[in-house]
Structure 1
């Protein structure tokens, strides 16, 4: 029998963490974080990382496993999740993946196939020199010609991802999109997908309020500390909640503009998350009303009990 895995997905601020903990409590489970930024130590406020008190004694995995100077990928996440699911299954625990990073979750649950091509330092060094001479835009335009589908997913200024996509193509003759399309349609698990959604206006109000609370908790100091560690160009600082403050620190605009952009970018990200999950995976969706939240959670838990018995 394939291992059963429950997965709680949806946009930011919709209430995934609380539901994941309740599921783990009710069904003898442990939580695996499906967030690409909560892996970083010292990035607590901006990633809305669940606190020890909020965990209520439920073990959480793949949180605080990397230094903010380190990189991380969906392929690494996939490998880590597969190891964790095997361990939890052996201990009689239900794996509960909770998060909003769609590609990571899809990769882990549906055996997404990645290029195993090791990095070629010679190619990277050459691409670095070309970027210095011609500008990153020129390399991005080259990628757009070679692999327009992948280029559409990458910001033109994200050198690391532009370089990697070009490097894979030059090393293998295949694009990253080619590798992604080779993924298998099945899953090595029995995934039970639960999606949380909320009326758009209410969700956006929650996002704005969450940002205000992050500011009160000291988000500016958290980001400033990372900035002064020389991490401005690291993968971790590209995250929403962090990148918006760098121009403020460098005098390009004021603090209020940083907060305004953080709220806007968070709302836009929530929309992208929802679109990704709707288009990529077969999910049981539940509309959450903040006023009737507890009743909504109880309904999900009842439904889940039936789903676990059926599979």
Structure 2
């Protein structure tokens, strides 16, 4: 059985900094489970780590061009191989990020092979999930196939999306829905903190992104010919800047929207992760968090 440590939590809480400290203690390597850090050239808006300034090996960062599409199935295929390789070399893989769909592709036995992927429809559903939440999509699934909906929890966005995709493509075979993946010795860690303080950190993070040149980053991508409707530019931060550059909103509205959408995203992330009872939660503000998590990891390693 392969060890896998997962560090997750809402955007802006400080997953990256903590994971670097932990990785140093365990011959660790970090696998990003952030759906936007896979893209090259999207650096400021994704709060991407500068790989030149760390000795810790990182994976699943800067792996595709901004114009490319990347699916959950693509992530699972790549990350599974990386996890095995790290374990085989005597290291400890740390899966770090807040994209629940990516994490679930590894901790559950999701089968993506029986139905041809419909990338455009899947991206549309993922955007709806991010903006409206899983219950909105669940009602859509109930309308289309109540029997299939009864097999899925209303908060399980990944399974709802997969079910809707299967229905759309004329395949209602239910065998490909997932059970827990027992291939990994899963050490699942969640980070949380006082909500008001988290929101303050998120607001400050957005201000920093603007100061670092987020607007110019988006301008450069568009000047290079990237379609503003690309999957990569649908992320929070980028889509609001595009609206600003198109003259749809002013500067203050842009900043306010990025902050608001980031806070709402953090709230949805917490809702997503809190339903998974395997997650051991830690207070990000605790002075003892590093030693507490280290003790927890030590008690669970095989």
TM-score over 0.5 for the pair? yes
Give the 3-state SS of the residue equivalent to 2:41 in structure 1: coil
CA distance in 2, matches of 1:207, 1:170: 37
Give the 3-state SS of the residue equivalent to 2:169 in structure 1: helix
Aligned CA distance change for structure 1 residues 165 and 227 (closer, same or farther; 3 Å): farther
| Alignment partner, residue 244 of structure 1 | 240
- Alignment RMSD, CA only? 2.9
| Alignment partner, residue 10 of structure 1 | 9
Tell which deviates more after alignment, 224-233 or 43-52.
Answer: 224-233
CA distance in 2, matches of 1:100, 1:68: 20
Question: Would you say 1:223 and 2:223 are equivalent positions?
Answer: no
Q: 1:306 aligns with which of 294, 299, 302?
A: 299
Aligned CA distance change for structure 1 residues 145 and 3 (closer, same or farther; 3 Å): same
Question: Would you say 1:146 and 2:139 are equivalent positions?
Answer: no
| Alignment partner, residue 159 of structure 1 | none
| Cα offsets for 1:149-208 (capped at 9, x unmatched) | 69x99xxxxxxxx9x977642433328xx577x201233111100110010011001000
Aligned CA distance change for structure 1 residues 17 and 119 (closer, same or farther; 3 Å): closer
Contact map agreement 1:244 1:258 (CA 8 A) in 2: yes
Give the 3-state SS of the residue equivalent to 2:248 in structure 1: coil
Aligned CA distance change for structure 1 residues 267 and 170 (closer, same or farther; 3 Å): closer
| Cα offsets for 1:7-57 (capped at 9, x unmatched) | 100001111111111121101110000101000000000001111255x30
Contact map agreement 2:5 2:95 (CA 8 A) in 1: yes
Give the 3-state SS of the residue equivalent to 1:172 in structure 2: coil
Q: 1:90 aligns with which of 88, 102, 108?
A: 88
CA distance in 1, matches of 2:163, 2:106: 21
CA deviation after TM superposition for structure 1 residue 245, in Å: 1.3
Instruction: Kindly name which structure, 1 or 2, has the bigger radius of gyration based on alpha carbons.
Output: 1
Aligned CA distance change for structure 1 residues 304 and 143 (closer, same or farther; 3 Å): closer
Aligned CA distance change for structure 1 residues 170 and 262 (closer, same or farther; 3 Å): closer
| Alignment partner, residue 158 of structure 2 | none
5 Å-filtered alignment, 1:148-297, equals 168-174=166-172, 178=174, 182-228=177-223, 229-289=225-285, 292-293=286-287, 295-297=288-290
Which consecutive unaligned segments of at least 5 residues does structure 1 have?
Answer: 125-139, 154-161
Tell which deviates more after alignment, 56-65 or 225-234.
Answer: 225-234
CA distance in 1, matches of 2:282, 2:140: 42
How many residues are treated as equivalent by the alignment?
277
CA deviation after TM superposition for structure 1 residue 143, in Å: 7.3
Which consecutive unaligned segments of at least 5 residues does structure 2 have?
Answer: 122-136, 156-160
Aligned CA distance change for structure 1 residues 71 and 179 (closer, same or farther; 3 Å): farther
| Cα offsets for 1:126-168 (capped at 9, x unmatched) | xxxxxxxxxxxxxx99878426869x99xxxxxxxx9x97764
| Cα offsets for 1:208-256 (capped at 9, x unmatched) | 0100110110001111222332321111111111111121111111111
CA distance in 2, matches of 1:87, 1:74: 20
Aligned CA distance change for structure 1 residues 120 and 274 (closer, same or farther; 3 Å): closer
Contact map agreement 2:22 2:290 (CA 8 A) in 1: no
| Cα offsets for 1:63-95 (capped at 9, x unmatched) | 000111111111111111110011111111111
